[in-house]
Every structure is written in C-alpha cells, then in structure tokens.
Amino acid sequence: MHRYANPTRFLKIARVATPIVALLGMALTAAGLWIGLFASPPDYQQGESVRIMYVHVPAAWLGAGGYMSLAIASATALIWRHPLATIAARAIAPAGAAFTAICLISGSLWGKPTWGTYWVWDARLTSMLILLFLYLGYLALSASEAEKGGEARASSILALVGVINLPIIKYSVEWWNTLHQGSSISVVNASSKIAPALLTPLLLSVAGFSFLFAAIVLMRMRAMLAQQRVDARSRRMAEALA
Amino acid sequence: MKAKHQRLWLVVGALTALGGAGVLAFSTLGEKATYFYAPSDLAKGPAPTDAIRLGGMVEKGSIQRDGETIRFVVTDMAKTVPVTYTGILPDLFREGQGVIAEGKIDPVTGKFTAETILAKHDEKYMPPEVAGAMKKTGAVSTGG
C-alpha cells in the first residue's frame, strides 16, 4: 500500500490509466444509455419513464459509493498521514456530490409522473438529501483547510462521521414505510426483480458511470499534484529572488 | 505503541461509539420516521385526529367513481380502510397497486378523507410482453 502512496509512482501509473479508464467509461456509458433510452422495452407499469432509471440508479450508487471511498481516503489520511490520501479525498468529493445531485434531480423528475409528486420527506429521499449536504459540508471545510495549507483534519473527521448515513440510506426502505420502493437488486443474493431486457442496459450504465467516476478522480488527483508542484516551485523561486 | 497505531485505535473507537449512538438514536426514533401507516397500524390504537398518511394496496374491485369523487378501499391484506378522494389521480393509481393517501380519518365512522393521493411503485420492472405472459400464469397482477 505504501508503495502506491508514493506520489511519483502514482503519477506514473495514473498517466497511463487515465485515458484508458476515461475511454472505457465513455464507451460503456454510451452503450448503456443507447440501449436504455432507445433500444429497450418500456416498463409494464411506468411506460417510458422507466428510462430515467438508467441515469438515476448508477448516479445513486456512485453518490453513496463515492462517499464510502471519501471516508476510506479520509481515514487513511487521519491514521497514516499519507499525503496522497488527502488528495484522493479532495478529488472524490466534488464528483460524489455531482452524482448525488444527478440522482436527486433525476429521481424527482421520475417521481412526478410515477408517484404524482416531485418530492416527499420519506426516509430514503431525506437521507439521500443529507448525503448531498454532507458532501457540500466536506467541500466547504476542505476548501478552507486547503487555503490555509494545513492538514485536512477537520474535514476528514466530518467525512468519517457522515459514514453513519450510508447504512441509513441503504436500509431506509426496509426499516421504515417509505414512498420509495424497496431494492430491486440484491448483490448478496445475486438476484434482481428487474427483467433481463431492462437489467442489461442498467448494468452497462452502472459500469460506465463507475469508470467515468474513476476517470474524474484520477484527472483531479493529477491536476492537484501538478498544482502542488507549481506552488512549491514558485515558492522556491520567490525565495531565491528575495 | 506507535503513534499511527494510536490514531488507528482512536478512529476505530470513535466510529464504534458513533455507530452505537446511531443505533440508540434510531431505535428511539423508531416508527416516528415512518412515512405512512398501514391499516393494521391504525387498527391498533385510537384513531389519530391529526392529518396522517395511510398506505397500502387499492383493494381489487373496490373503486367507485362518482364524477370527480372516487371511493376505494385501502388494504394491507389484514385490515381495510375506506377512502374518499376528490381530485386528479396519478397515472399509476390502479386496483391492486400501492397507494398513499394523505388526509384525516373520521374517529366515529373510521372513514378516511384524502387530500392528496400518491401512487407507490414496487421494485419489479419488466417489459409489457413479459408482464402479459406472467399475468396469464397468475404470477403478477397488472391491476386495472
């Protein structure tokens, strides 16, 4: 693990990996959305509005999964003080926030024709909104820490405290009566209540969104490391001139 | 003990305490975070006088239309509540489908007057042909 936490080694791998991951993400997302939006049947109850699922579900999974990786990176930064871990956390947060926002907006647009309302304060919708607020809080706090040039301590703690929201999001539809339906896909039982014709484009777009997420994180991490080098160099030059 | 091990145990300890606090908080919150009551929940206690949400299935064959007003029965397969509603219904409102009604229950007659009706969707997704084939075998109900 320490081997890959070395920024120079990371940059060497990331330079090769970024275009591959980005192209894979674009190709899989394009395939998933093409089949999902044009080449798959409508749902027997929802009709055409089921197609919103091909954006909504991957966005939701990556919003929540992104937060888990933000928390792991933050824990690594807190415990082992890896400089790369803080950079990873700061790179993940805006991408996770964006996917969570896409999930909330697309869900709201699906809710109006299906449920008859854009929004309700049920446990699933509310806990997902709290996830967005956690991301926004993390972004604000870590931006101010980065500005001061200190360690990302407070923001890492915030990221870890927010982890408690993840099981609440996952199980909200089981623990309480919610307007949001229960889970259609169980990873543990490897079972799904979605017909194969609708499941194939969904899984393709989940894979595509995941690679896109990884590509965004890699690009942001490389940009942040480059920025650090520029800052260090200009500091040295300013010192030499003074 | 090295400093990083100390920090590791600190984080593990803090997360365990946080998890415990979360479990306690949520066991107290319990049913209060629930979005709607099922007919059986209402049958347990005295009828609430405030506006509540009632959720369940629209009983098959229970829908009666009278101009803008619609009457139907919400069931959870154990208890039932009769509901009256005047207004526009969501597209997914059908017999045999999930529904959530917002409104008040009459404490004397037990009749529910809804202000809003929301359709609940279940977790099954399939193309119409598959649903048609399954309906024939009785594996799924497509409602009205």
Spatial separation of the C-alpha atoms in residues A169 and A180, rounded to whole Å:
11
Average pLDDT over residues A68-74: 97
Chain B residue with minimal CA distance to A173?
B34
Q: How many CB pairs under 8 A join A and B?
A: 122
Instruction: Please give the DSSP secondary-structure letter assigned to residue B1.
Output: -
Residue B81 falls inside a structural domain: yes
Query: How far does B125 lie from chain A, in Å, by closest CA?
Result: 5
Q: Residue A92: which residues within 8 A CB-CB, separation 6 or more?
A: A66, A69, A70, A73, A217
ipTM above 0.95, yes or no: no
pTM for the predicted model, two decimal places = 0.89
| Domain, as residue range, for B9 | 3-32
Is the Cβ of A182 closer than 8 Å to some Cβ of chain B?
A: yes
Answer yes or no: do B26 and B68 share one domain. Answer: no
Answer yes or no: do B51 and B74 share one domain. Answer: yes
Query: How far does B127 lie from chain A, in Å, by closest CA?
Result: 5
- The pLDDT score that the predictor gives to residue B144 is 37
Contact A114 B91 (CB under 8 A): yes
Answer yes or no: do B74 and B15 share one domain. Answer: no
Q: Which residues of B touch A (CB under 8 A)?
A: 4, 7-8, 11, 14-15, 18-19, 22, 26, 31, 33-38, 55, 89-93, 97, 100, 116-132, 142
Answer yes or no: do B24 and B92 share one domain. Answer: no
Answer yes or no: do B126 and B58 share one domain. Answer: yes
Answer yes or no: do B42 and B25 share one domain. Answer: no
Using pLDDT thresholds of 50, 70 and 90, give the confidence band for residue A27: very high
Query: How far does B99 lie from chain A, in Å, by closest CA?
Result: 9
Answer yes or no: do B95 and B121 share one domain. Answer: yes
Spatial separation of the C-alpha atoms in residues B112 and B81, rounded to whole Å:
7
Average pLDDT over residues A85-89: 95
What's the structural domain count of chain B?
2
Reply yes or no on whether the pLDDT at A151 is more than 90. Answer: no
Residue B76 falls inside a structural domain: yes
Chain A residue with minimal CA distance to B89?
A116
The three-state secondary structure class of B86 is strand
Answer yes or no: do B22 and B82 share one domain. Answer: no
Answer yes or no: do B77 and B7 share one domain. Answer: no
Domain of residue B128, CATH code:
2.40.50.140
Chain A residue with minimal CA distance to B55?
A177
- Ranges of beta strands (E only) in chain A are 185-186, 191-192
A144-176 burial: b if 16+ Cβ within 10 Å, else e: ebeeeeeebeebbbbbbbbbbbbebbeebbebb
Residue B17 falls inside a structural domain: yes
Tokens matching residue B124: 């099954």
**What does the pLDDT look like over B81-128, one tens digit per residue?**
999 999 888 888 888 889 999 999 988 888 999 999 999 888 888 888
| pLDDT > 90: percent of chain B | 27
Answer yes or no: do B64 and B125 share one domain. Answer: yes
Answer yes or no: do B45 and B105 share one domain. Answer: yes
Contact B92 A176 (CB under 8 A): no
Tokens matching residue B74: 């919400």
Q: Domains in chain A, start-ordered, CATH in brackets?
A: 17-180+194-241 (1.20.120)
Average pLDDT over residues B29-35: 74
Residue B120 falls inside a structural domain: yes
**What does the pLDDT look like over A106-119, one tens digit per residue?**
999 999 989 989 99
Spatial separation of the C-alpha atoms in residues A5 and A14, rounded to whole Å:
12
Residue B132 falls inside a structural domain: yes
Residue B72 falls inside a structural domain: yes
> How much is the mean pLDDT over chain B?
84
Answer yes or no: do B23 and B42 share one domain. Answer: no
Reply yes or no on whether the pLDDT at A188 is more than 80. Answer: no
Reply yes or no on whether the pLDDT at B142 is more than 60. Answer: no
